[in-house]
């Protein structure tokens, strides 16, 4: 979701109203191109998110809980200069997509240090630059002369505004001056004239101005009458006044289902058959939704998800290589037969010949067979060479089958961890998965200790009519739930050959009814990777028949005496009348 300069003016006013006079209490770096400023204001604590990555944006967040465990070197450096600073102003520069945050800090000697944070939201050239006394302290993205000849961004360089940022803002001119600018600098089409004079016009607002003035964007400006130019000036003045009072953001959708965002109503789009799909009370709200939905910020969860996907891809490649080697090992018996035939004909003198044709007396009827030789070796030496190949392939087949089984088990384990991450709904649950990945060697172990101890009974609990159902959120919870918490007579459920949670059914005495077994099986199907499928196979058996093989990964079990139910997944729903889940 990209904002033009005029929409950014509304966002600037929104940020200024809520953050000015606030103090920066904490600075956090979420990923390489995203930081969060925790600001203490008279309205409470606010989180200002600044990201210059694939989806550049600046907005007030409802709070990011998925934070990295250890700060980066850049984060520590910026904390030294910005933490404790008070925001004195937030301004938009020249109506362009550039925000400047003034953050003044009192030094130990009583002097005032003026910090400036320049947020440039310009597509692939977006950046966040930290400046002190006109000199760049740091930037989220460094730009070398090889990357951009016109403008370099690096520490200790003098900060300069981006090229083509010297055009004026629509809000800097009064009504008479807007009309005079159009008369004096009109050249090219209407769209080119407006964009040459004023910053901040995106396609949607430009079309709205032309529609309001009764002209088209591609009309040559020199062909316009004085009345038409006056109409354009009036339309620009009306737009300026409307944006000055705007606080909301409108979301439209045209006939081709393309979305448009604007701080003012788009009458031209409604006239073309478009429709208003949503209205937001602030600019920050849809920005946050868009960034989170499209994965614009690489949070800890997203980085962990990417690590797991790469590990699965790597293991699948290894699995395919092992299968290829096993297919090659099928030639072992053939190599042994070659060796036997050569030893039977050891008396022959075939040195320096590339092959030899013999009668294959090992098959009935006897058939001639041609065997490739190493020319430098004798018949006996070639036979010994084939015996070595036979032994090598035989050993490879034995170890290959074991490695293939271990590889399949590891792929299942990695996919189960990835599934656990998709249903993680709290910081504690994500931390448990993170710790599991560290123990499995997927992540480098952190030197910083965890600030809290994860509770053992953190699994899901559902009270049903006649019993209880317990469901693990990740492999650590599955391990504890099945092998420590569950009783021998409890029923254990898991989807067949599909990654999912361990489900335990505990009755209040006696055997579980068919209704209870069906409900637990449906929950097991829902809390698995087959959630969106139908007719999912679920195995269930008493916990006393569950065994864990030695040295097996977390959550891996083997079981016997199972029964299989083919059933549709069902999400747990609380019946408010009975207070039981159904």
DSSP result, 237-287: HHHHHHHHH---EEEEE-TT--EEEESS--HHHHHTT-EEEEEESSSHHHH
Q: Are residues 311 and 412 in the same domain?
A: yes
Distance between CA atoms of 517 and 431, rounded to whole angstroms? 32
> Which residue among 293, 324, 345 closes a domain?
293
Q: Is it the case that residue 433 has pLDDT exceeding 90? A: no
User: Is residue 284 domain-resident?
Assistant: yes
Residue 425 lies in a domain: no
Number of domains within the chain: 4
On whether the CB atoms of residues 519 and 469 are closer than 8 A, the answer is yes
- Indicate the range of 43-52, 136-145, 337-346, 447-456 predicted with least confidence: 447-456
- Mean model confidence pLDDT for the chain: 87
CA atoms within 13 A on the CB side of 545: 12
CA dist., res. 47 & res. 60, Å (int): 6
The model's confidence at residue 514, banded by pLDDT at 50, 70 and 90, is very high
Would you say residue 166 has pLDDT above 70? no
pLDDT tens, position by position, 556-571: 999 999 999 999 999 9
Q: Which of 266, 293, 320 is the last residue of a domain?
A: 293
Tell whether the model's pLDDT for residue 458 goes beyond 80.
Answer: no
CA atoms of 229 and 213, how far apart (whole Å): 8
pLDDT at position 563:
93
Give the residue, 77 or 150, on which the prediction is more confident. Answer: 77
Read off the DSSP letter of residue 483. I
User: Are residues 339 and 309 part of one domain?
Assistant: yes
In a shared domain, residues 531 and 555? yes
> Could you tell me if 512 and 575 lie in one domain?
yes
From CA 204, how far away is CA 210, in angstroms rounded? Answer: 10
Is residue 329 in some structural domain? Answer: yes
Average pLDDT over residues 504-531: 91
Q: How far apart are CA 484 and CA 78, in angstroms?
A: 47
Q: Identify whether 546 is part of a domain.
A: yes
- Alpha-carbon gap, residue 218 to 240, rounded angstroms: 22
End-to-end CA distance of the chain: 41
Nearest to 136 by CA among 149, 150, 152: 152
**558-559 and 580-581: which strand pairing?**
unpaired
Q: What per-residue confidence (pLDDT) applies to 183? A: 84
The per-residue pLDDT for 450 is 53
Assess contact for 171 and 9: CB atoms under 8 A: yes
127 plus 252 within the same structural domain: no
What does the buried/exposed string (b/e) look like for 43-67 if buried means 16 or more CB atoms within 10 Å of the residue's CB? Answer: eeebbbbbbbbebbbbbbbeebeee
Where a domain ends, among 121, 139, 157?
Answer: 139
Q: Please give the pLDDT value at position 510.
A: 83
Q: Are residues 501 and 575 in the same domain?
A: yes
Tell me what the mean pLDDT of segment 378-407 comes to. Answer: 86
Whether residues 12 and 132 share a domain: the answer is yes
For range 548-554, the mean pLDDT: 87
Q: Which helix (H) or strand (E) holds 315?
A: helix 300-328
Is the same domain home to 125 and 84? yes
Tell me what pLDDT residue 115 has. 93
- Please write the tens of the pLDDT for every residue from 254-282: 888 888 899 999 999 998 888 999 999 99
Q: Give the alpha-carbon dihedral of 562, 567, 569, 570, to 10 degrees.
A: -100
Q: How confident is the model at residue 347 (pLDDT cuts 50, 70, 90)?
A: confident
CA dist., res. 128 & res. 33, Å (int): 8
Which residues, at least 6 apart from 226, have a Cβ–Cβ distance to it below 8 Å?
none
Q: Considering the domain boundaries, does residue 435 fall inside one?
A: no
Residue 511: φ, ψ to 5°? -80, 145
Q: How far is CA 465 from CA 461, 475, 582, in A?
A: 13, 28, 8
CATH number of the domain bearing residue 50: 2.30.310.10
Position 434 in a domain? no
Closest residue by Cα to residue 400 from 286, 302, 324, 514: 324
- Give, as one character, the DSSP assignment of residue 39: E
d(CA 356, CA 365): 20
pLDDT of residue 439: 81
User: pLDDT higher for 434 or 157?
Assistant: 157
Which pLDDT value is given to residue 65? Answer: 66
Strand partners, 280: 249
Q: Which range of residues forms the domain containing residue 362?
A: 303-420
pLDDT higher for 350 or 259?
A: 259
Q: What is the mean pLDDT of residues 8-12?
A: 92
3-state SS track over 542-555: EHHHEECCCCCCCC
Q: Say which range, 2-11, 220-229, 320-329, 354-363, has the weakest mean pLDDT.
A: 320-329
Helix (H, G, I), strand (E, B) or coil at 136: strand
* Total number of residues shown for the chain: 582
Tell whether 280 is covered by a domain. yes
The pLDDT, as a whole number, for residue 546 is 94
Question: Measured between alpha carbons, how far is 267 from 286 in angstroms, rounded to an integer?
Answer: 21
Same domain for 307 and 273? no
Tell whether 124 and 37 lie within a shared domain.
Answer: yes
Residue 429 in domain: no
- What is the value of pTM for the model shown? 0.67
User: Radius of gyration (Cα) for the chain, nearest Å?
Assistant: 35
Q: What is the mean pLDDT of residues 159-166?
A: 76
Q: Is 106 left (phi over 0), alpha (psi -120 to 50) or beta?
A: beta
CATH of the domain at 283: 1.10.8.50
Between CA 191 and CA 109 the distance in angstroms is 54
94 shares its domain with 186: no
Please state the rounded mean pLDDT for residues 545-556: 89
Q: Encode pLDDT of 282-325 as tens digits.
A: 999 988 888 888 776 766 777 788 888 899 999 999 999 888 87
Q: Which residue has the higher pLDDT, 447 or 368?
A: 368
Q: For the segment 59-85, what is each residue's pLDDT rounded down to a tens digit?
A: 998 877 667 777 889 999 999 999 999
Could you tell me if 376 and 267 lie in one domain? no
**CA distances (Å), origin 69, targets 434, 446, 448:** 10, 8, 7
Q: Which residues on adjacent β-strands are paired with residue 468? A: 463, 506
Nearest to 142 by CA among 70, 76, 74, 57: 74
Q: Return all residues near 46 (Cβ < 8 A) that are at least 6 apart.
A: 18, 19, 22, 38, 39, 60
């Amino acid at each position: 979701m990209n904002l033009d300069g005029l929409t950014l003016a509304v966002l600037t006013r929104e940020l200024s109203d809520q953050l000015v006079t606030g103090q920066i209490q904490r600075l956090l770096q979420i990923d390489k191109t995203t930081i969060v400023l925790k600001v203490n204001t008279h309205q409470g604590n606010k989180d200002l998110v600044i990201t210059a990555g694939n989806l550049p944006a600046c907005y007030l967040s409802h709070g990011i809980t998925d934070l990295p465990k250890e700060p980066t070197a850049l984060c520590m450096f910026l904390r030294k200069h910005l933490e404790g600073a008070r925001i004195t102003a937030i301004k938009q520069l020249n109506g362009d997509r550039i925000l400047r945050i003034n953050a003044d800090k009192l030094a130990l000697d009583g002097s005032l240090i003026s910090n400036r944070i320049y947020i440039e939201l310009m597509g692939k050239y977006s950046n966040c630059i930290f400046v002190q006394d006109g000199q760049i302290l740091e930037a989220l993205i460094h730009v070398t002369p090889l990357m951009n000849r016109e403008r370099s961004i690096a520490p200790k360089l003098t900060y300069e505004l981006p090229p083509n940022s010297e055009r004026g803002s629509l809000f800097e001119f009064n009504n008479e001056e807007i009309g005079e600018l159009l008369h004096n600098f009109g050249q090219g089409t209407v769209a080119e004239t407006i964009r040459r004079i004023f910053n901040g016009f995106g396609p949607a607002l430009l079309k709205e101005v032309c529609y309001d003035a009764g002209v088209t964007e591609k009309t040559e400006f020199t062909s316009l009458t004085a009345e038409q130019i006056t109409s354009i000036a009036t339309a620009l003045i009306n737009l300026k006044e409307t944006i000055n009072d705007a606080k909301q953001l409108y979301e439209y959708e045209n006939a081709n289902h393309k979305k448009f965002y604007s701080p003012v109503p788009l009458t031209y789009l409604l006239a073309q058959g478009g429709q208003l799909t949503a209205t937001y009370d602030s600019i920050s709200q849809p920005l946050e939704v868009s960034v989170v939905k499209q994965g614009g910020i690489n949070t800890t969860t997203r980085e962990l998800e990417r690590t797991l996907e790469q590990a699965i891809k790597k293991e699948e490649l290894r699995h395919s290589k092992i299968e290829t080697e096993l297919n090659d090992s099928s030639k072992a018996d053939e190599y042994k037969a070659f060796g036997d035939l050569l030893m039977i004909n050891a008396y022959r003198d075939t040195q320096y010949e590339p092959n030899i044709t013999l009668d294959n007396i090992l098959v009935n009827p006897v058939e001639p067979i041609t065997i490739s030789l190493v020319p430098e070796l004798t018949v006996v030496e070639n036979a010994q060479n084939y015996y070595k190949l036979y032994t090598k392939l035989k050993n490879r087949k034995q170890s290959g089958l074991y490695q293939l089984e271990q590889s399949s088990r590891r792929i299942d384990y990695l996919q189960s961890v990835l599934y656990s991450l998709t249903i993680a709904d709290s910081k504690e649950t994500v931390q448990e998965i993170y710790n599991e990945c560290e123990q499995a060697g997927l992540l480098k172990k952190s030197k910083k200790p965890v600030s809290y101890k994860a509770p053992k009974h953190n699994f899901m609990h559902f009270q049903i009519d006649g019993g209880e159902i317990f469901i693990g959120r990740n492999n650590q919870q599955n391990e504890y739930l099945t092998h420590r918490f569950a009783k021998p007579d409890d029923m254990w459920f898991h989807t067949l050959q599909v990654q999912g949670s361990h489900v335990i059914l505990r009755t209040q005495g006696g055997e579980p009814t068919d209704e209870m077994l069906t409900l637990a099986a449906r929950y097991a199907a829902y809390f698995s990777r087959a959630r969106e499928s139908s007719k999912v196979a679920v195995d269930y058996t008493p916990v006393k028949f569950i065994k864990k093989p030695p040295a097996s990964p977390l959550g891996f079990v083997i079981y016997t005496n199972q029964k299989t139910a083919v059933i549709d997944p069902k999400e747990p729903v609380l019946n408010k009348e009975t207070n039981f889940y159904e």
